[in-house]
Copies of this chain bind each other. A is one copy, B any other.
């Protein structure tokens, strides 16, 4: 097997990963239920009951967006995977453990949207997922034989920065803000959701993501040049 060929065992690993992400995304909606008492409401009273469920809907939106961002990063970064080992299996399963856990803090924060304990528990779960992602990328990038040998070290560093700035620093700063009492100005879940939307809009629609691909291309061209010299 050439160093640039892909280990076929990665196919089943990604099948499991995409399966767990797909289910976690969809199961979030199971929490969306109106209180039992609304069963006998009609017209305007029903409308009010639906509108009063906004914290649950916000929890659904926020966690869906969050898991979507994690999946997108997993999709981008592991596109460069070429080899497979047992530690990769278990570190990926550790990330999936965190992803599968997220519906639980989402349900709690949906039920207690302005309670700092529920908010810290929620952002703590995001931090755990971020640290698992960091461990996963650390393993993958420190075993050079696991990644495409043509991948430039600059791209590897860029992914490190993205993980540290995103799923590690973001929930930590949210927890600090909650401790400082940001909740009296704006609901931290709303703030978290808005931050994620800004991240997606800035990053994907304007910014660094397309450039990343160009950088890979650029890096390869550069390398070819230095080889020629």
Contacts and interface: CB of A to CB of B under 8 A. Distances in A.
A29 B90 contact: no
Contact of A64 (B21, B34, B100, B108): B100
Given A15-B18, A18-B16, A46-B112, A90 B68 contact: yes
A203 B43 CA distance: 36
B100 A72 contact: no
Contact of A22 (B16, B44, B46, B87): B16
A42 B100 contact: no
Interface in A68-105: 68, 71-72, 75-76, 79, 85-87, 89-90, 93, 96-97, 100-101, 103-104
A207 to B, nearest CB: 10
A30 interface: yes
A111 B18 contact: no
A111 B118 CA distance: 22
A9 B79 CA distance: 7
Nearest to A120: B47
Nearest to A34: B108
Interface in A87-140: 87, 89-90, 93, 96-97, 100-101, 103-104, 107-108, 111-112, 115-118, 121
A26 interface: yes
A10 to B, nearest CB: 10
Nearest to A213: B85
A161 interface: no
A25 B79 contact: no
